[in-house]
Copies of this chain bind each other. A is one copy, B any other.
Amino acid sequence: MTGSTAHEARTVAAKAVLKRQSIETPSWAYGNSGTRFKVFAQAGVPRTPREKLDDAAQVHAFTGAAPTVALHIPWDRVEGGPEGYAKLAAYAEERGVKLGAVNSNVFQDDDYKLGSVTNPDPAVRRKAVGHLLECVDIMDATGSRDLKLWFSDGTNYPGQDDLRDRQDRLAEALRTVYARLGDDQRMVLEYKLFEPAFYATDVPDWGTSYAHCLKLGEKAQVCVDTGHHAPGTNIEFIVAFLLREGRLGAFDFNSRFYADDDLMVGAADPFQLFRILYEVRRGGGLEADSGIAFMLDQCHNIEAKIPAIIRSVMNVQEATAKALLIDAEALAAAQREGDVLAANGVLMDAYNTDVRPLLEEVREELGLDPDPMGAYRRSGWQERIVKDRVGGVQAGWGA
Contacts and interface: CB of A to CB of B under 8 A. Distances in A.
Interface string A186-219: 0000000111101111001111101100100000
A238 to B, nearest CB: 8
Given A156-B301, A230-B233, A331-B159, A258 B37 contact: no
B199 A257 contact: yes
B335 A162 contact: yes
Given A198-B258, A259-B258, A338-B121, A344 B163 contact: no
A237 interface: yes
Interface stretch (A77-85, A134-142, A263-271): A263-271
A356 B352 contact: yes
Interface in A268-291: 268-271, 275, 279, 282-283
Max chain B CB contacts within 10 Å: which of A208, A263, A340?
A340
B156 A303 contact: yes
A156 B259 contact: no
A120 interface: yes
Interface residues of A, number: 105
Contacts of A275: 158
A43 to B, nearest CB: 11
B164 A244 contact: yes
A384 interface: no
A4 interface: no
Interface in A56-84: none
A304 interface: yes
A369 interface: no
A354 interface: yes
A232 interface: yes
Given A157-B303, A318-B352, A38 B108 contact: yes
Contacts of A302: 113-114, 156, 340
A332 interface: yes
Contacts of A112: 38
A381 interface: no
Given A196-B38, A283-B164, A303-B341, A204 B346 contact: no
A198 B282 contact: no
A167 interface: yes
Contacts of A397: 36-37
Contacts of A337: 120
A245 B304 CA distance: 35
B195 A35 contact: yes
A36 B304 CA distance: 20
Contacts of A230: 229-233
A196 to B, nearest CB: 4
B335 A158 contact: no
A344 B302 CA distance: 12
Given A257-B199, A338-B120, A397-B36, A279 B232 contact: no
Given A120-B335, A157-B267, A207-B210, A261 B198 contact: yes
Contacts of A198: 256-258, 261, 263
Max chain B CB contacts within 10 Å: which of A38, A161, A373?
A38
Given A158-B348, A303-B340, 19 more contacts: A37-B107, A38-B196, A114-B302, A120-B335, A157-B303, A158-B344, A159-B335, A159-B343, A159-B344, A161-B343, A164-B282, A194-B259, A200-B237, A205-B233, A207-B207, A207-B211, A269-B271, A311-B341, A311-B345
